[in-house]
Amino acid sequence: MPARLARFAQGILAQRSVDIRFHTRLHGATAEAALLVGGERLPTRTLVSTVPTAPNPLVAGLPVATERGRIVVVASARVGKRIA
């Protein structure tokens, strides 16, 4: 996403009282709050979290084509080429 568009979107979200946190670790969540590493508690009923992920190690053993450890799929999200 272009930086200009990201800043615009962040501004719109801020106008709607959305609290955006970067480089922040989530320790846990309850029905009423987000609990951050370090002890901060943010009262909320909605939580959106993006987290870095790695491919599941079990994928390596499947008879399907992979790319960088991930299953290759076609546009319809079906598994592409199967390996015999």
Chain segment 9-23, per-residue pLDDT in tens: 999 999 999 989 888
| Separation of alpha carbons 80 and 66, rounded Å | 9
- Which residue from 84, 81, 56, 49 is spatially nearest to 70, judged by alpha carbons? 56
Q: Which of 50, 70, 49 is nearest to 60 (CA)?
A: 70
Spatial separation of the C-alpha atoms in residues 9 and 13, rounded to whole Å: 6
pLDDT digits (tens, 9 = 90+) for 23-73: 888 999 999 999 999 999 999 999 888 876 788 888 888 999 888 888 888
Alpha-carbon gap, residue 37 to 69, rounded angstroms: 30
pTM for the model stands at 0.52
33 token code pair: 């709050």
